[in-house]
Amino acid sequence: MSSDIGKMIREARQARGISLRALASQVGIHFSHLSKIENGKDQIGRDSLTKIAEELGVDPDLMLGEAGHQTVPFRVLGNIAAGEPIEAIEEIETFDLTKVFDPQDHFLLRVRGTSMILDGINDGDLAIIRYTKAANTGDTVVALVDGGEATLKRFKKVKNTITLIPANDQLTAMEFPASRVEIRGVFVGLVRTAVK
């Protein structure tokens, strides 16, 4: 078992704005056991780890991989035209998401809702987030307002005011004093999981 699995659970839980007691209750384990897991003082079984990953919107395979289970990289079989037709040539290479986005520095969140659709981020997609508590204007961030639920929005800061901007013409930007907003990560990539 990787000694970092507890850290990954804790950081993903905090990024979602979920308390330790709430997560433990949701997955059916005692909160003191979850606390020990997060602090690297106790082990976690595969079933419990899968439940936690699903509850946090993290790819279970990523967490299972962190827990010492073998993961298999995807194979990229070649190129496909999205404009002018090209000759389809099979050139097999492997693609391992963890080689591009280090699991120690990144986590996945399942997108729920359509507030970022104009940026190509759809309901059901997996957002790849880099752990950070700082952001620059123009970044797409995971933000918590008043310690509540996490939201994915474009970030803009002017003096002591932060504006969280949706990428959806039907929604309006939300403006807050900077002291009310906590950044938990910056969006760096996307795994499209549903084709509509």
Q: Which residues are catalytic?
A: 115, 153
Q: Within 13 Å, how many C-alpha atoms sit on residue 44's CB side?
A: 38
Give the whole-angstrom CA distance, residue 137 versus residue 103: 25
Give the whole-angstrom CA distance, residue 174 versus residue 167: 12
Give the whole-angstrom CA distance, residue 8 versus residue 90: 37
Instruction: Answer yes or no: are the C-beta atoms of 111 and 123 closer than 8 Å.
Output: yes
Q: Where are the beta strands (DSSP E) in 111-196?
A: 126-131, 140-145, 150-158, 161-165, 174-177, 181-191
Amino acid symbol at 52? I
DSSP state of 89: -
Of 170, 192, 125, 180, nearest to 152 by C-alpha is: 125
Helices 5-15 and 31-38 sit at what angle, rounded to 10 degrees? 110
